[in-house]
Amino acid sequence: MSTEPRPEVSLKPLSGWHCSHLYYRFHRAALRQLTADERREAQDAFLAALDPAGAGAPTRLQSFVVSGHKADFGLLLLDPDPLVIDRVHHRLLAGPLGAVVEPAWSFVSMTEVSEYLPTIERFGQRLVEQGIDAKAQEYREKLDAYTRRLEIMRRQRLTPDLPVWPATCFYPMNKKRKVGENWFLLDFQERERLMSEHGESGMKFAGRVTQMITSAMGLDDWEWGVTLWARNPEFLRDIVYRMRFDEASARYAEFGPFYVGYLSSAAEILEHCRVGQEASS
């Protein structure tokens, strides 16, 4: 019988946060049926539900308009408690908003620290493999610098601060389990090598694109979710194109639908989607 203490029964992860990507459409026919007073009430409820500083808001809440007809707007929500996140969804659908807002798509996941993020020991081994003497001052300086960065990287992956760069893109992905292309049958060293190559491609876009990877195994249909933010939409296209040539993607990755949007407040979403104008026409 195991002598390890049983973990606490809780909805909160032992590390990191719950994460949801939610996408919606405005029901245009329903908007036209609302009276002027009902429209104002619905819009006020919308603004309150998506207020990042409002009472009961999740720890992180980011909203954006969505390009194309997959959805009108989207939300990115993170919190230690999944029900705090879920309440935002139900506030949108309850009351005066129920007939106006339609769910379009969702993705449920959790933040994580990738197993391919090198430990301090593994980073030291890489330095030796690069020909740096483990007793040299250069080795100690590089190892100390990485030790400081590692804590920051772990914290940003588990409890991320969301960037405010204007262009954002989200897509889910799987690793293949096909004969001859089964990611999960590769040994760790080979997977680590492939992911290191993939990471080096991404680093070429530092200062232009940043990302968040969340894990959905056991939580949703896809295994991981990739959220990208960019200073310019062109950089989203460029980084995805470049990284498709890495073997980790070219041979072993499968991708789901892409949702591209632009950061917007709740008020900006209503204006951009012409909710008031549409309803009053």
- Kindly report which listed range (78-82, 200-204, 207-211, 259-263) carries the lowest average pLDDT score: 200-204
Q: Which is nearest to 265 in space by CA: 273, 276, 257? A: 273
Kindly report, residue by residue over 246-263, the tens digit of the pLDDT. 999 999 999 999 999 999
Residues annotated as catalytic are 171
Kindly report, residue by residue over 91-125, the tens digit of the pLDDT. 999 988 888 999 999 999 999 999 988 888 888 88
Single-letter residue type at 39: R
Q: Which two tokens stand for residue 241?
A: 């194109």
Whole-angstrom distance, CA of residue 231 vs CA of residue 223: 27
Q: Which two tokens stand for residue 189?
A: 């060293």
Helical residues (DSSP H) of the chain, grouped into ranges: 28-33, 36-49, 82-93, 120-129, 137-158, 188-203, 233-243, 247-250, 266-272, 275-280
Segments making up each domain of the chain, as ranges? 18-111+263-280
**CATH class in words for 18-111+263-280:** alpha beta
For residue 188, the Cα-to-chain-centroid distance in whole angstroms is 25
